[in-house]
Amino acid sequence: MSITTPGGFRAAGVAAGLKASGGSDVALVVNDGPLKHAAAVFTTNRVAAAPVLWSRQVVSDGRVDAVVLNSGGANACTGPEGFANTHRTAEVTADLLGVSAADVFVCSTGLIGEQLPMDKLLAGVSEAAGNLSSGGGPAAAEAIMTTDTVSKEARYPASPDTASEGYSIGGMAKGAGMLAPGLATMLVVLTTDAVLPPAQLDAALRAAVRVSFDRTDADGCMSTNDTVVLLASGASGATPDPDQFTSALTGLCLDLASQLITDAEGASHTIAITTVRAASEADAETVGRAVARSNLFKTAIFGNDPNWGRVLAAVGTTDAAFEPDRLNVSMNGVQICRNGGIGDSRDLVDLSGREVTVEIDLAAGTASATIWTNDLTHEYVHENSAYSS
């Protein structure tokens, strides 16, 4: 059920004192091979954190030997000193593992604009290197949490009994706020023991991320630190069909994305917005994202109010192909807006449960896409006004 499920990986998570809470805050993931293949995607935010700048270079040759991650500090907007600290973290990790610093991928998450306490961090890395084990995945998943209330892990195949293709995939994720377009803070580590070259890993990762994490939008805010990295050890000896691998990886990413949105800060509803009969998949995605970012829509759902007018007001801000008088909107299966006007009674919509489905019918084509989001609640305001992140 974790990143150490696939063969060839060891991990650890320790408490280094970066978090005021005293919780674990440094994680280490090591690929013991025989392959050290990797691919990664990063935030598109132009204000990128030091570890993002570093790790982009590390993965550019398709090889990553280890990933070192910390919570309790994002190391973003920290200038040359911040970059030197990321570099130093990679060097110390490399020395401890006997690998090259140029193959050590670094991720950080937490408050922006503060330097990391390097003494504590490096002592933690040293302790983590001493604790590495093939059962260490869950401890690593714990150590990357910030405002997450639970750790997030997933595996393929879903259970060890499931007939598989001879390889497995594991994953861990963190992220609660700042989940947004082009990713979130949101750190995700994926591991597999499949035999795949870096180019195929990269193609599979981009395909999986495009329809999972990239369509998860909790609060429209884009982080400086978002990273998803995929490591392949080849330890299974199995060489999967690329399409089958991409499909398996996509399923696992959707699982993790669903865990992220369910644990989004303060959320009381998990909302799937599916746009159908769009002229293109891009149109469907644009429409879903516009609704997912409407604070008025999100507060209405918090109030169990099937306010389809706010859905249409958001749809109307987009440049997607549609005619206003042909729009249909359903919530939890009730078509409350028909042909751009009043449909079935709002009173038929029950929003008391956790899961909400919104279907927007553009009547303009055959494409569709789903965006996952959550409601805007008092608890979100409380967490983000009280917590400096």
User: What is the binding site for a second copy (CB under 8 A)?
Assistant: 44-48, 74, 76-79, 81-82, 111-115, 177-178, 219-224, 293-296, 299-300, 302-303, 305, 307-310, 312-318, 322, 324-325, 327, 337, 339-342, 376-378, 380-382, 384-386, 388-389
Q: How far is the CB of 171 from a second copy (least distance, A)?
A: 25
Q: Is-catalytic flag, 185?
A: yes
Nearer to a second copy, 124 or 177 (CB): 177
CB of 264 to a second copy, least distance (A): 12
SS3 66: strand
370 assigned to a ligand binding site: no
Which residue, 38 or 315, has its beta carbon nearer to a second copy? 315
Output 110 or 137, the one with its CB closest to a second copy.
Answer: 110
Q: Whose CA is closest to 320, among 371, 358, 362?
A: 362
Tell whether residue 146 is among the known ligand binding residues.
yes
Q: Rounded to the nearest whole angstrom, what is the least distance from the CB of residue 12 to a second copy in the complex?
A: 29
Burial (0-12, 13-18, 19+ Cβ within 10 Å), 386: exposed
Output Rg (C-alpha) for the chain, integer angstroms.
21
Q: Which amino acid is at 276?
A: V
31 has binding-site annotation: no
Select 115 or 133, whichever has its Cβ closest to a second copy: 115
Instruction: State yes or no: 127 annotated in a binding site.
Output: no
The position carrying tokens 């006007």 is: 341
Which is nearer to a second copy, 104 or 183 (by Cβ)? 183
Instruction: Give the closest residue to 96 by CA, choosing from 22, 2, 225, 10.
Output: 10
- Looking at residue 211, the DSSP 8-state letter turns out to be T
Q: Is 379 annotated as a binding residue?
A: no
36 belongs to an annotated ligand binding site: no
| Residue 172, beta-bridge partner list | 153, 189
Judge contact between 215 and 186, C-beta under 8 A: no
Spatial distance between the Cα atoms of 100 and 69, rounded to a whole number of angstroms: 17
Q: Which two structure tokens, joined as six digits, stand for 309?
A: 């007018």
**CA distance linking residue 226 with residue 26, whole number of Å:** 17
> What minimum distance in Å lies between the beta carbon of 257 and a second copy?
20
The contacts found for 254-258 with CB under 8 angstroms, 24 or more apart, are 254/211, 254/212, 255/154, 255/171, 256/152, 256/154, 256/171, 256/172, 256/173, 256/188, 256/212, 256/213, 257/173, 257/212, 257/213, 257/215, 257/216, 257/372, 258/372
Q: Bridge-partner residues for 80, per DSSP?
A: none
Cβ proximity of 221 and 180 under 8 Å: yes
In angstroms, give the least distance from the CB of 33 to a second copy. 36
The residue from 5, 109, 185, 216 that is catalytic is 185
Using the minimum distance from each CB to a second copy, give the nearer residue, 47 or 150. 47
Helix (H) or strand (E) holding 12: strand 9-14
Nearest approach in angstroms of CB 265 to a second copy is 10
The residues annotated with a catalytic role in the active site are 185
Which residues line the annotated binding site? 146, 174, 185, 265, 384, 389
Residue numbers in the known binding site for substrate are: 146, 174, 185, 265, 384, 389
